[in-house]
Amino acid sequence: DTAVSQTPKYLVTQMGNDKSIKCEQNLGHDTMYWYKQDSKKFLKIMFSYNNKELIINETVPNRFSPKSPDKAHLNLHINSLELGDSAVYFCASSPQPGQGYGYTFGSGTRLTVV
């Protein structure tokens, strides 16, 4: 069983399109995150949800809208995709907010905007 699973693994789309990435965790964690990893491997937090409530929004453009229907799921919807959105997006979860121990990442979604 994959602890944190993301779909799709690869996503290639044209500029201006709208796309979604899904994430599910089966660890029973309360907190979930979205991170963006750029071409230089830098990992930057985008959003964090704790028990379905948004607790961190790191000045991400409002074209990005996370949705957490329950604490096991955190999806990311992106409107009007731009070339600069190309990156690898990682979902993660942890037992409590900011706890490094038990922080578990998904395997990533490589988004390419052409």
Strands 109-113 vs 10-13: parallel, antiparallel or unpaired: parallel
Rg (CA), the chain: 13
Query: Measured from the CB of residue 54, what is the shortest distance to another protein in angstroms?
Result: 12
CA distance 114 to 105: 27
Binding site for another protein (CB under 8 A): 4, 33, 35, 40-45, 48, 55-56, 90, 92, 97-108
Query: Measured from the CB of residue 75, what is the shortest distance to another protein in angstroms?
Result: 17
Cβ contact 21:89 at 8 Å: yes
Nearest to another protein of 75, 94 (CB atom): 94
Query: Measured from the CB of residue 33, what is the shortest distance to another protein in angstroms?
Result: 8
Nearest to another protein of 21, 90 (CB atom): 90
Residue 11 tokens, joined: 């996503």
Query: Measured from the CB of residue 96, what is the shortest distance to another protein in angstroms?
Result: 8
Strands 19-25 vs 4-7: parallel, antiparallel or unpaired: antiparallel
Nearest to another protein of 16, 42 (CB atom): 42
CA distance 7 to 98: 24
Nearest to another protein of 11, 16 (CB atom): 11
